């Protein structure tokens, strides 16, 4: 049985993970902590195999916490569980010693399967971050040809000035789905704003004028 320590400053996240895993055949939550200092204290007194840790918490957190866990408890596996999809953040966590970088938008089955894989010795990365890492390895600057067909379509419509609502109507899909495609393509392409997207479109001949920023 893999013994888990959950480190997250949100009570709902800690309680939710406990309930999700309470009947799991190989994963068992033995402790939880609301901050990094409490987590380190628990690690000194509690047998733990896998730490599931958020990146953004008050006090000791982020790569500083990961580095300390890795230094003082080298045999413990570390899985980041965060809302942050940014490639730079994932790279920082992995370079600091995290064994997995998982995101809170994962489904229950995908999350539990990923935790099992991390516990078994694999390095596991959420699919969006993994795609972005692969794109970065292939080219220092991703091109929109690397996006899915639907993501390319949304990019081109955004570049022409269409709103998310208008794109949803045009494509016959939900507002939420368009927003998801928008977030994914901006993440994969490394855009920080819609202005970045539009200027890229200008460079590629997808739009006539670049907005002022």
Question: Is 140's pLDDT higher than 50?
Answer: no
Question: pLDDT by residue (tens digit) across 112-126?
Answer: 999 999 999 999 999
- Sequence-distant (≥ 6) Cβ neighbours of residue 109 within 8 angstroms: none
**Confidence band for 142, pLDDT divided at 50, 70 and 90:** low
CA angle 114, 118, 119 (to 5 degrees): 115
pLDDT at 205: 66
- Sequence-distant (≥ 6) Cβ neighbours of residue 208 within 8 angstroms: 202
pTM: 0.66
DSSP state letter for 212 = P
pLDDT at 87: 74
Average pLDDT value for the chain:
88
Every domain of the chain and the residues it spans: 2-133, 144-203
Please give the helix or strand (H or E) that residue 180 lies within, else none. helix 175-189
For domain 144-203, which CATH number applies: 1.10.10.10, 1.10.1740.10, 3.30.1540.10, 1.20.120.450? 1.10.10.10
CA distance 44 to 182: 44
DSSP state letter for 190 = T
Lowest mean pLDDT among 69-73, 75-79, 183-187, 197-201: 197-201
| Residue 73: how many other CB atoms lie within 10 Å | 15
Give the torsion sign (CA, 201, 204, 206, 207).
positive
CATH 3.30.365.10 fits 2-133, yes or no: no
Question: Is 139's pLDDT higher than 60?
Answer: no
Residue 21 burial class via C-beta count within 10 angstroms: exposed 0-12, middle 13-18, buried 19 and up: buried
Region for 121 from its dihedrals, namely left if φ exceeds 0, alpha if ψ lies in -120 to 50, beta otherwise: left
Mean pLDDT in residue range 22-44: 97
Question: Is 62's pLDDT higher than 60?
Answer: yes
């Amino acid at each position: 049985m893999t013994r888990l320590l959950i480190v997250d400053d949100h009570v709902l996240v800690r309680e939710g993970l406990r309930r999700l895993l309470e009947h799991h055949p190989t994963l068992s939550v033995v402790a939880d902590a609301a901050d990094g200092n409490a987590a380190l204290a628990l690690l000194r007194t509690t047998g733990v195999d896998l730490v599931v840790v958020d990146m953004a918490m008050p006090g000791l957190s982020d790569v500083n916490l990961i580095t300390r866990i890795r230094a003082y408890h080298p045999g413990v596996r570390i899985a980041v569980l965060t809302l942050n999809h940014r490639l730079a953040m994932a790279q920082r966590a992995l370079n600091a010693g995290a064994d997995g970088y998982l995101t809170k938008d994962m489904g229950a089955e995908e999350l539990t399967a990923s935790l099992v894989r991390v516990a078994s010795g694999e390095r596991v990365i959420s699919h969006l971050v993994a795609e972005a890492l692969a794109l970065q390895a292939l080219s220092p600057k991703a091109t929109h040809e690397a996006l899915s067909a639907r993501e390319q379509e949304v990019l081109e419509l955004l570049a022409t000035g269409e709103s998310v609502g208008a794109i949803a109507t045009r494509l016959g899909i939900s507002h939420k789905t368009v927003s998801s495609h928008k977030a994914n393509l901006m993440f994969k392409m490394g855009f920080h704003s819609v202005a970045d997207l539009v200027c890229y479109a200008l460079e590629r001949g997808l739009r006539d004028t670049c907005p002022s920023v």
